Amino acid sequence: MSEHKARLGHALLWIFALSGFAGLIYQSIWTQYLGLFLGHSAYAQSLVLMLFMGGMALGAWLVSRRTESLRRPLLAYAVIELVIGVLGLLFDPLYHAGTAWAYESLMQSATGNGLRWTMATVLVLPQCVLLGATFPLMSAGYMRLQPASEGRVLAGLYFANSIGAAIGALAATYLLLPKVGLPGAIMTAGLLNIAVAVAIYPISKHEGAVAATPKPAAAPRTRMRTATPLLVLTVAALTGATSFVYEITWVRMLSLALGTTIHAFEVMLAAFISGIAFGGLWLRHRADRLQSPLATAGWVQVLMGLAALASMFVYAHAFEWVGWLLRVIARTGEGYALYNLSSGLISLLVMFPAAFFAGMTLPLLTLELLRQGGGERVIGRVYATNTLGAIVGVLVAVHLLLPMLGLKLALWLAAAVDLVLGVVVLHVMAPGRSGRRPGPAVFAALVSVFALALSLWLVKFDPLMLASSVYRHGSTFLDNTRMRYYRDGKTASVALYERGEGKGLVRAISTNGKVDAALSMHPEGEIIADEYTMVMAAALPLSMRDRFDRVGVIGFGSGLTTHALLGSERIGQVDTIEIEPMMVEGAKLFGDRVSRAYEDPRSHIVIDDAKAFFASSPRRYDLIVSEPSNPWMGGTATLFSEEFYSFVPRHLEDDGIFLQWVQTYEINPALVSSVLRAMLGHFSDVQAYLSNGEDLLLIAVPKGKVPALGARLFGDAGLRDDLARLGFRDVRDLQDTFVMDRRALVAYANLHPSQANSDFFPILQLQAPATRFMKAKADLNPWHGAPWPVVPFLGGFSPRSIDQPPPGVRRPVVSDSKQKAARELRRLLVEGDARPAVDAHDPQLDYAEALRGLGMSCRLDGAPGRNAELIFALASDTVAFLDVPAQVGLWQSPAWLECPPTSPLLLQALAFVDAASRNDHARVLDVGRTMLDGPDAALVAGSAVSSKYVFGAMLFAAMASGRNADVPLLYNKYWNKLHPSLRDSETIRLLLVLAASPQANPEAPLEATNDAEIADGDRLR
């Protein structure tokens, strides 16, 4: 072989690696595109895979029929790469045009599902067929440049394409999607294909026709038997099937340890493909020296099966490794990068050995048929057969093995198939023996049987370990827990377990380790936080309208929301859409707590992707409740996207209501803002309720205003007990959970600039896994308990009269605890009551005792700055949480003040709080300016407490009195003079943005307000 042709060969390897890089981008991005259109159900995912791999198999088979008649296969390859690239550049506009037409014209017809699949086929099948033709054409062209090196060529190409694909999988998720989104990623792949075509063209000029004379074999085969092509193709199909069973089970297994995120999936995929690549690399320099490629393939099959069994032993330690990582890695952005790197290493330990051997099978089987004189056409045939086997493997794994046998036995069975396959091949290829010494097939069979028995006996996948959610908390086992249900479903592994006994019995249901719902099983037991959210998701809309003929609930969870909805006779029908059948089956163990979801004839449980289900239904809904899991869970972020929120109103009646559950834990404010920005533009009005301190319920309507909460809910006998148990006895109790109207939500979105979450620019899917790792939180409790009456001003309700009893149940509602604390402080200050023993260490009670003592002994003037801070600290915890009559004796004509102070600062402080307690906004502004411009301004500015209360009260007064133009003046004059802690106060910054909005207009547009602008003290305009 000449040096020139060697250089051309090396160039082809680099070019084919680039083609593999682009090919994995297509696979990753097409999956997301088609998932948006077809849905993410197990059947949809399987059918998408059939389109991909079936198209590639068809392409390989078609080209195999003509390879030998092509004079320049590399030129044909270049043309195909060029066509793929052009189609890649056109894919995004074609997708949008085609799907828009389908949604508007076809989806709600009787043949909607069939038309959806026809549209998907038209969009991707041509490219898939062309992609399938690339490997046979490249192989044929390369072999013509380097004849008599078939093994080196095939293994080298397999390595190059696979290593490019592994890098492409990581680049698509970590580089392209964050920077350019789905459209930019697929256009990048298209440009790469065009670059490949351009690079191949000059090389194609050096190729020639198929050699007319047969090439000598690389090694003598006199003692080896020859297998039929049928056996070789059968081996190719079966090893393709087992390889994909491995991949699917490994990904599902590792998801339980590493997390079900887009990053974890791509890391696992890259690890698997890397193993395949290096298997090809190892074979590259050895293939042409092999006496019998098929006999070698037999040993490879045995070693692959043994490595797959060994992966179960390795996997059993993965949870301990992840738990250790979470204990030692800092929960920062850099720590998350290190966690992903470590996840890749763990994935390699589990997958690499078996994948390494899998990477040898296709080159060996192809080389076997080439040596038998099959010609270049066998390259495409082996590739097509292997790909068809992979399709069968995926379908069998997802729809049969995992649901019926579970992860361990599915992997064990695939390994058994590989071992049997290897033994059969070794037996067929064994040379004739005259003695009694057992042949290699017997040895392989004995080792295989021993390994299968050992792995079945020793390896235990304890469900309490699998469901431990180690990737969140670092705990590798669910202690003091009893597993009641565990099944590996088609899309997820579902567990239901319980803790405690009697009144303390609690059951929880989880998906891939992430708890989706937990319920107390005893009527008098502890109330779990999830119960508030799930019941309120039904109660809030039920209090707003008299009747709902048709309701849709996205996500089954525990079934409690559906159960609660059906507690009202005003409901006509509830369609609950759940993507995983095992979730519905497992939740039955919640028993009577969710019985109506299963037994009420008005309940219809549908196993499907939510968007696909609604798109295929011509009927509209009066209410749609969306209760997805956390956004970082794989596939969930699309239920928080701009496209989803533009889709929902089309399936609501004009007076319909939409409710969205948004978790505010394991997410940062910018990502919550991305959800709000996605949502606000598609609904005329949105309100927010805080159910338990960590879960936000957004209620939206496509037209008009969100209806007011009404008492009609409490006439539903089936709901009354459930509501009373949670502390909701009347509509006033429900009103306490209101936190924001549209104005405040717009301000929140403007305070935290973020791109709207989109299906095509999926920032939520990409960034939420990192915020989960860092334990971020978008805490709205400080706003709900702000020291100024902003929530009542925005549409909430004023504090209860002190004569009104508080809710009978201690609820996780900030206003409850704030009102209770305010009453205690008032009693202590005004009436001099003894402080409650239970609050003996409450610093606010210490402040109240100190202030009363100073006021009653006429010693308030002793330290004006410190005592003004006491006044503002106690005002922060009382003024906004007591009704106006309760302010008398506290701040209006204070009963605790025996003699007025003489200090100007203290007089101003008392006058300021008195004005705030009367909602005298003009006086608040006047007195506030006097304080901040006076000789004692430094005493106010030097105190974090005083600065926050005074400046916040002035901002609120300007907003409440319609003097929004004063807000920039207040900001520009005082911001840099006040205590630096204001820059860290989320409540102050949100109030500043809200108050600065023109007339606090609820229709105000979303703006890219710069958070740094407020923090750094630039001028506010």
Phi, psi of 1008 (to 5 degrees): -90, 60
Which of 351, 28, 339 shows the shortest CA–CA distance to 189? 28
Is 58 strand, coil or helix?
A: helix
Q: How far apart are CA 715 and CA 736, in angstroms?
A: 19
Contact call for residues 698 and 807 (beta carbons, < 8 A) = no
Which of 560, 1008, 527, 525 shows the shortest CA–CA distance to 813? 527
Q: Residue 803 burial by CB count (10 A; 0-12/13-18/19+): exposed, middle or buried?
A: exposed
Across the chain, what does the average pLDDT equal?
Answer: 88
Domains of the chain: 1-208+228-430+438-458 (1.20.1250.20), 465-511 (no CATH), 530-774 (3.40.50.150), 790-996 (no CATH)
Quote the pLDDT of residue 805: 76
Q: How far apart are CA 681 and CA 646, in angstroms?
A: 8
Q: What average pLDDT does range 231-237 have in this prediction?
A: 92
488, β-bridge pairs:
493
Confidence of residue 1019 (pLDDT cuts 50, 70, 90): very low
Confidence of residue 840 (pLDDT cuts 50, 70, 90): very low
Q: How far apart are CA 537 and CA 706, in angstroms?
A: 15
Sign of the torsion formed by the C-alpha atoms of 538, 540, 543 and 544: negative
What tokens appear for 158 in the block? 């397999």
Mind giving me the DSSP string for 66-123? TGGG-S-HHHHHHHHHHHHHHHHHHHHHHHHHHHHHHHHHTTTSTTHHHHHHHHHHHH
With residues binned 3-state (H G I as helix, E B as strand, rest as coil), the percentages for the chain, rounded to 5, are 65, 10, 25
Phi, psi of 949 (to 5 degrees): -65, -45
What tokens appear for 878 in the block? 């009382």
Residue found by looking up tokens 């998906």 in the block: 511
Q: Residue 723 burial by CB count (10 A; 0-12/13-18/19+): exposed, middle or buried?
A: buried
Amino acid at position 411, single letter: L
Q: Residue 587 burial by CB count (10 A; 0-12/13-18/19+): exposed, middle or buried?
A: buried
Quote the pLDDT of residue 751: 92
Sheet arrangement for strand 482-488: 482-488, 493-499, 506-511, 514-520
| pLDDT higher at 7 or 697 | 697
Which of 345, 365, 352 shows the shortest CA–CA distance to 301? 365
Confidence of residue 1004 (pLDDT cuts 50, 70, 90): very low
Contacts of 541 (CB under 8 A, 6+ apart): 548, 623, 625, 657, 659, 699
CA 113 to chain centre: 26
Which of 187, 474, 433, 457 shows the shortest CA–CA distance to 312? 457
**pLDDT tops 50 at residue 838:** no
Residue found by looking up tokens 């020793």 in the block: 458
Amino acid at position 664, single letter: T
CA dihedral 120, 123, 127, 129 (to 10 degrees): 50
Residues of the chain above pLDDT 90, percent = 64
What tokens appear for 784 in the block? 């709900």
10 Å Cβ neighbour count for 333?
A: 12
What tokens appear for 356 in the block? 């390494």
Amino acid at position 484, single letter: R
Helical residues (DSSP H) of 681-813, grouped into ranges: 717-725, 731-735, 742-751, 763-773, 781-784, 790-793
| pLDDT higher at 2 or 548 | 548
**pLDDT tops 70 at residue 682:** yes
Which of 914, 918, 867, 916 shows the shortest CA–CA distance to 891? 914
**pLDDT tops 70 at residue 105:** no
Strand 514-520 versus strand 506-511 pairing type: antiparallel
Q: How far apart are CA 368 and CA 674, in angstroms?
A: 56
CA 738 to chain centre: 27
Strands (DSSP E) found in 534-611: 548-554, 571-578, 603-607
CA dihedral 5, 11, 17, 19 (to 10 degrees): -100
Confidence of residue 596 (pLDDT cuts 50, 70, 90): very high
Q: How far apart are CA 762 and CA 755, in angstroms?
A: 10
What tokens appear for 709 in the block? 């909460």
Quote the pLDDT of residue 106: 57
Instruction: Average the pLDDT over each of 134-138, 656-660, 685-689 and give the range with the smallest value.
Output: 134-138
Contact call for residues 286 and 175 (beta carbons, < 8 A) = no
Which of 960, 679, 944 shows the shortest CA–CA distance to 795? 960
Sheet arrangement for strand 571-578: 603-607, 571-578, 548-554, 621-626, 652-663, 695-701, 685-690, 738-740
* pLDDT digit string, tens, across residues 386-439: 999 999 999 899 889 999 999 999 999 999 999 999 999 998 887 765 555 668
Contact call for residues 393 and 242 (beta carbons, < 8 A) = yes
10 Å Cβ neighbour count for 175?
A: 12
Contacts of 371 (CB under 8 A, 6+ apart): 150, 217, 221, 293
* pLDDT digit string, tens, across residues 887-942: 999 999 999 999 889 999 999 999 999 999 999 999 999 999 999 999 999 999 99
Contact call for residues 381 and 233 (beta carbons, < 8 A) = yes
Quote the pLDDT of residue 196: 95
Confidence of residue 109 (pLDDT cuts 50, 70, 90): low
Q: How far apart are CA 825 and CA 847, in angstroms?
A: 9
* pLDDT digit string, tens, across residues 340-386: 999 999 999 999 999 999 999 999 998 888 888 888 888 889 989 99
Contact call for residues 848 and 829 (beta carbons, < 8 A) = yes
What tokens appear for 220 in the block? 């003598």
Contact call for residues 305 and 422 (beta carbons, < 8 A) = yes
Residue found by looking up tokens 């525990």 in the block: 558
Q: How far apart are CA 498 and CA 957, in angstroms?
A: 51
Contacts of 884 (CB under 8 A, 6+ apart): 917, 918, 919
Quote the pLDDT of residue 51: 80
Phi, psi of 375 (to 5 degrees): 75, 180
End-to-end CA distance of the chain: 74
Phi, psi of 511 (to 5 degrees): -120, 120
Confidence of residue 4 (pLDDT cuts 50, 70, 90): confident
Which of 188, 194, 186, 189 shows the shortest CA–CA distance to 92? 186
DSSP state of 234: H
Q: How far apart are CA 670 and CA 146, in angstroms?
A: 56
What tokens appear for 980 in the block? 């630096």
Quote the pLDDT of residue 1013: 42
Residue found by looking up tokens 């549908």 in the block: 606
Give how far Cα 606 sits from Cα of 399, 510, 553, Å. 18, 19, 10
Residue found by looking up tokens 């109240």 in the block: 848
10 Å Cβ neighbour count for 605?
A: 17
What tokens appear for 661 in the block? 């559950």
Contacts of 49 (CB under 8 A, 6+ apart): 391, 394
Residue found by looking up tokens 């149940």 in the block: 809
Confidence of residue 624 (pLDDT cuts 50, 70, 90): very high
Contact call for residues 721 and 570 (beta carbons, < 8 A) = no
CA 668 to chain centre: 14
**pLDDT tops 70 at residue 1011:** no
* pLDDT digit string, tens, across residues 794-834: 888 888 888 887 776 778 888 888 888 899 899 999 988 76
Q: How far apart are CA 316 and CA 86, in angstroms?
A: 46
* pLDDT digit string, tens, across residues 749-801: 999 999 999 999 999 999 999 999 999 999 999 999 999 999 999 888 888 88
Q: How far apart are CA 998 and CA 110, in angstroms?
A: 49
